[in-house]
Amino acid sequence: MTRPAPQFAAPHRRFNPLNGEWVLVSSHRTLRPWQGGTEESDETMAAQSHDPDCFLCPRNQRTSGEFNPDYEHTFAFTNDFPALLPNGSVERDFESPLFQAETTSGTSRVLCFTPDHGRTLADLDRPGLRSVVDLWCAQSAELGRQYRWVQVFENKGDAMGASSPHPHGQIWASNFLPSHVATEDNHQRSHLEANGNNLLVDYATAEGDQETRVVVENNSWVVLVPYWATWPFETMILPKRHILRLPDLTDDDRTDLTDVLKRLLTRYDNLFTTQFPYSMGWHGAPFHAESQDHWQLHAHLYPPLLRSASVRKFMVGYELLGEAQRDLTPEQAAERLRALSDTHYADARRVHVT
């Protein structure tokens, strides 16, 4: 039985063992009046299944001059404006250690989730969503043969800087570990060396015992609001057994991942009856390295909305100069998400109209 979520009245700090940082929790601030700015709802996004002016729709021409194939499920291609190049270089015309630079190599790909311009991951059916999971796994395996780090991610919605409303994500692969990843690598390795156990396997077990921050789960996966969450409705997706990377997922793992993704993303949209913006990304063990048993595959989801479809959280002031701070406790956020329906609000409306 789920234990009642503790309600913290007094400000307190929580420690994030993945990155060694703290977050200030000030739940009493949710009572303060709001007179700040708002964001437009994403309900204005185009609903047509094909947009002739969209660079990602099937058969359309991109800015590179290339035409997209008439794809029926998913489609991946090298970004026309990649952040990483296979043969990077940097000039070193100074000797001071205060001015350091290094060469990089990598590639960037765009992942079209569906040919339907008017869909999002949240309202794809399960076969369509499973195709996306398989694409993540296949692309990770392919790029992992060449690059040390493969970063799968999605920016959804204008509020998170998405460059196109067409449902898509990206992969940036590189010969180096990005800073946040290197930090997670160090802390997971230290935990294994000190305790003999995997940090996130231990954490998923502990969260399952408490249940207060669990949103949805099934045989293979648990979705929870981390104890140390920074964003108001931040969540983490964790496997219940030790898995290093996306390509390691079995057929059952992928089916169960499709299930929890569908249920979580539906709840996000239902929370404020809007196409909920977020940044989502997968972290798994680096490729081409020594033993990676300290790693556990996991996904981070960082949504900005705070009070409604038009009120978002801003990381400013104290957050930029001091440390992360949140008003809603992780337990309160999990409770709200957990209570929402598995039926998408748009589907419920269509049934009601019918």
- Residue 104, C-beta contacts closer than 8 angstroms, at least 6 positions apart: 84, 88, 90, 174, 175, 176
- Contact by Cβ (8 Å): 145, 153: no
Which DSSP symbol is given to 159? G
Q: Where in the chain does DSSP place strands (E)?
A: 12-16, 21-25, 75-78, 106-112, 149-156, 168-174, 214-217, 221-224, 235-239, 278-283, 298-302, 305-308, 311-312, 324-326
Annotated active-site residue in 166, 168, 294, 300: 168
- Residue 235, C-beta contacts closer than 8 angstroms, at least 6 positions apart: 215, 223, 224, 225, 226, 229, 264, 301, 337
Helix axes 251-271, 345-353, angle to 10 degrees: 70
For residue 280, list its beta bridge partners: 154, 301
- Contact by Cβ (8 Å): 49, 117: yes
107 residue type, one letter: T
- 168 as an active site residue: the answer is yes
CA–CA separation, 296 and 279 (whole Å): 20
329 residue type, one letter: T
CA–CA separation, 344 and 335 (whole Å): 18
Name the residues annotated as catalytic: 168
